[in-house]
Amino acid sequence: MRAIFTRTLVSHAQESDFVFLTGDLGFMVLEPLRDVAKDRFINAGIAEQNMVSVAAGLARAGYKPWVYSIAPFVYARAFEQIRNDVCLHDLPVFLVGNGGGYAYGVMGPTHHAIEDYGALLGLPNLTVYVPAFAADVPPAIARLMTAARPAYLRLGRDEKPKDFVVPPYAPWRRILPGPGATVLMVGPLAGGILAAAQTLPESQRPSLWVLCELPIVATEIPAAFLAGLEQNGHLIVVEEHVAQGSAGAALAHALLLAQTTPRRFTHRFARGYPTGRYGSQLYHRQESGLDPSSILRLLGNHP
Amino acid sequence: MKDILRKARLRLLKMHFESGVGHIGGNLSSLEMLLTLHHRVMGADDQFILSKGHAAGALYITLWSLGRLTEEQLLTFHKDHTKLGGHPVPHAIPGIPFAIGSLGHGLGLAAGLALGKKLRGQPGRVFCLMSDGEWNEGSNWESLTFIAHRNLREVILLVDLNRLQGFGSTVEVANLGSLASKLREFGFEVREVDGHDTDAIEQGLKQPTSDRPMALLARTIKGHGVSFMENKMEWHYLSMTAEQYQMAVEEANRL
C-alpha cells in the first residue's frame, strides 16, 4: 500500500496547500515524493511530538499537512499533540500510520498498532480510514482530502486475491455475496479471508463486507447489510485491533441503540500476545483467530 | 506605556479577584512582556502563541487593552458559558490561534506557523512566550532542534524566567542550569533583559537580529508588583481574599 500511497501523493504534490512531514521514515518508498515536493517534503527527524505540533501550525497557516511514520510512533507518541493541537481545532492534518495491526510482525510489539484507532476515535473531529486493498488507497485519500478535517490513514500490506476485482471504494462494501453469516472485516486481512471464502461452494459462503471508515455512523450502515443480518442472524466482526475501542464494539453499540439485535455475535479481535512469544503477522493473527483458516473453522461451526 | 501597564495590572487583579481564580503569580510575571510585545513590537503580519497557557488572564487583559476584547467579555472570565477559560480554549478569540494549557506545545506550533510563512515567502514573525518550568517538557527540545536546523528566524522566543514552578523552584525540581547557554548551543542568538522593564523588552525585541533565530530571556518576579505575592510559589494557585485584593490594588496604584 505504501507504493500506491506514494504515487497518489506525488500526484497532489504540486497543489499549493500540500506539505509532507515524515518522522525520518520512508527509505525506498518516499523518494519519488521527496523529489517532486522539494522544500515541502520535510524530514522532521525522530521527533513526533514536534512534528505533529508543526503540522498543526502549518494547517493553521492554510496548508493540509501529511504526517507520516510507523503507526504507533505517529499516533501514540504524539497523542496529546494530536488531541490538543489538531483535533480540538478541527484542523486538516492527515496522519499516516504505516503497518497497522501486527504488520511489523517479529519486529515486536513496540512496532505494532493494535489499539490505534480505538485510542484515536475518542478524540473529536477525527476520521479513521483503513483501506482493505491497495486499490482503496487513492479513493480513501481523495475522501480525506475533500473532508479536510483531522484524519488517520492506517496502511498495511495488500492481500488481495490475484483475480479479484475490487469493487468501487465505499466506507461499507460487500465484497462477496453469500447466504451464510455476515462477516464484517476491517483492514487488509479481508484479502486472505476472501480468498478462503471463495473456495467454499456458493451455498455455504458467508456474506463478506469490509468497513473502511470509522467511527461507525448508525445512519450510514447500509440497508443491505442490515437485511443480511436479518436473514442469517449471525454477525461476525474480524479486525486486527483490540476489543476496547474496536469496530466490533462500536457496531454492537450502534445496533443495540437501533434495537437491531443479531441472533448471534462473534467478535474476532487482536488478543495481544497471549503466549508471550512473537512472530510474523500471520503468527499473531493465528494466536487471535484472525487468520483465514480460523475464520473458515468459525464459519463451519455456524449452526 | 506606564499608564497602559498600570491600568492592565489593576484590571488583571480585579478579574482574578472577582472570579476567585489562581495563577495570578505567573500572569503578573508576564504582563510587561505581553503588553510591550502587543503594543510596541508586533505588526499586522506577526502572530503570537502563548505557550504558558496559564497566563491566559494576562493575555486577555492585553487584548482588552488593545480594544480587541470588550469589558463585557472580560466579565465572563472563568464563568459558565464563557469563551475566556482559565487556559485559552479553541475557536474562541481571533488572535489566539490555539487552545493551550498543556506545556511544551507552543514552540512546535510557532515553528509550524513560521514554516508556513517561510515556504510561501510571506512576511511576519511568530512570537512565542514560554515559562521557565515549561523547559522540563521534552517536546521543547525537539522543537528547538527543528527551528535551529531549519534556521526558522521567523520564530522569536520569549521566556519568562520567574524561577518558580508548580511545586517548587526550577532549581529544586529539575535544575536546568543555564537556559541561555543551552539555547546558544542550539544555535540561538540569546538576549537577556529585565522582564519588568518595558523599554528593555522593547529594545531587546527590536534590535536587528543576526542570521540566527532569536530568544529573549526575561528575568522576572512571580507575582511582580504585589509585595505579598512576589517570589512566592503559592501564588501559582491561590486566589485573593478581599483584604489581599485591597492591598494589591493600593500597591498597583503606586507603581
Share of chain A above pLDDT 90, in %: 97
Q: Is the CA virtual torsion B171, B173, B177, B179 positive or negative?
A: negative
Distance from CA of B103 to the nearest CA of A (A): 11
Q: Residues A104-119: pLDDT tens digits?
A: 999 999 999 999 999 9
Q: How confident is the model at residue A301 (pLDDT cuts 50, 70, 90)?
A: low
| Residues of chain B in Cβ contact (below 8 Å) with chain A | 90-91, 97-102, 104-105, 107-117, 119, 138-139, 142-143, 145-146, 149
B115, B134, B152, best to mutate vs chain A, most A CBs in 10 Å = B115
Query: E-assigned strands of A16-150?
Result: 18-22, 41-43, 64-70, 94-98, 127-129
Query: E-assigned strands of chain A?
Result: 18-22, 41-43, 64-70, 94-98, 127-129, 151-155, 172-176, 182-186, 207-211, 213-214, 234-239, 264-268
Q: Residues A214-269: pLDDT tens digits?
A: 999 999 999 999 999 999 999 999 999 999 999 999 999 999 999 999 999 999 99
Between CA B207 and CA B199 the distance in angstroms is: 12
Helical H segments across chain B, by residue range: 2-19, 24-36, 56-65, 71-75, 106-120, 139-149, 170-174, 179-186, 198-206, 242-254
Q: Model's pTM, two decimal places?
A: 0.96
Flag whether pLDDT at A138 surpasses 70. Answer: yes
Flag whether pLDDT at A303 surpasses 50. Answer: no
Domains in chain A (CATH in brackets) are: 2-155 (3.40.50.970), 172-300 (3.40.50.920)
Intervals of chain B under pLDDT 50: none
Chain B residues in contact with A62 (beta carbon < 8 A): 116
> Are B99 and A84 inside 8 Å of each other by CB?
yes
Averaged pLDDT for residues A142-166: 97
Q: Residues B89-146: pLDDT tens digits?
A: 999 998 899 999 999 999 999 999 999 999 999 999 999 999 999 999 999 999 999 9
Between CA A74 and CA A99 the distance in angstroms is: 11
Which residue type does A215 have? P
Comparing alpha-carbon positions, the chain A residue that sits nearest to B140 is: A50
Closest partner residue to B108 (CB to CB) among A42, A49, A89 is A49
Q: Please count the structural domains in chain B.
A: 1
The terminus-to-terminus CA distance of chain B in angstroms comes to 12
Averaged pLDDT for residues A25-47: 97
Q: How confident is the model at residue A302 (pLDDT cuts 50, 70, 90)?
A: very low
Averaged pLDDT for residues A73-92: 98
Give the range of the structural domain holding residue B210, as residue numbers without chain letter: 2-254
Flag whether pLDDT at A55 surpasses 80. Answer: yes
Averaged pLDDT for residues A199-224: 96
Distance from CA of B149 to the nearest CA of A (A): 10
Query: CATH no. for residue B76?
Result: 3.40.50.970
pLDDT of residue A220: 94
Between CA A156 and CA A99 the distance in angstroms is: 5
> For residues B20 and A40, which has the higher predicted lDDT (pLDDT)?
A40
